[in-house]
Amino acid sequence: MHIEPGVVDGAKIILSYATAVGGFGLAAKMAIDSVRNNGGVAALLLRSLITTTLVFCFFEVLPHHAVGVSEVHLILGSTLLLVFGAGASAIGLAAGLLIQGVFFAPFDLPQYGMNVTTLLVPLWAINALAQRIIPQSTAYVDTRYSQVLALSTAYQGGIVLWVAFWAFYGHGFSVENLASVGTFGLAYMTVIIVEPLIDLAVLAGAKALARYSSGPAFNVRLHQPA
CATH of the domain at 142: 1.10.1760.20
Q: For the whole prediction, is pTM greater than 0.85?
A: yes
**What's the pLDDT tens digit per position in 110-137?**
999 999 999 999 999 999 999 999 999 9
Beta carbons of 174 and 62 less than 8 angstroms apart: no
* Total residues found in the chain within this entry: 226
Count of structural domains within the chain? 1
Confidence of residue 68 (pLDDT cuts 50, 70, 90): confident
Domain contains 175: yes
Domain contains 2: no
User: Residue 71 in 3-state DSSP?
Assistant: strand
b/e sequence 65-90, b meaning 16+ C-beta within 10 Å? eeebbbbbbbbbbbbbbbbbbbbbbb
Q: Assign residue 7 a region (left: φ > 0; alpha: ψ between -120 and 50; beta: otherwise).
A: alpha
Beta carbons of 105 and 66 less than 8 angstroms apart: no
Domain that holds residue 95: 10-222
Domain contains 138: yes
Q: What is the DSSP code (8-state) at residue 138? A: S
Domain contains 36: yes
Helical residues (DSSP H) of the chain, grouped into ranges? 14-37, 40-60, 77-84, 86-103, 112-133, 145-171, 175-189, 191-208
Domain contains 172: yes
* End-to-end Cα distance, the chain: 32
- Cα angle value 178/18/9 (rounded, 5°): 45
Radius of gyration of the chain (CA): 17
State how far the alpha carbon of 92 is from the alpha carbons of 10, 116, 207, 213, in Å: 29, 11, 23, 19
**What's the pLDDT tens digit per position in 39-64?**
999 999 999 999 999 999 998 888 77
What is the structure's pLDDT at 49? 98
Beta carbons of 64 and 115 less than 8 angstroms apart: no
**What's the pLDDT tens digit per position in 142-161?**
999 999 999 999 998 999 99
Domain contains 39: yes
Which one-letter amino acid corresponds to residue 103?
F
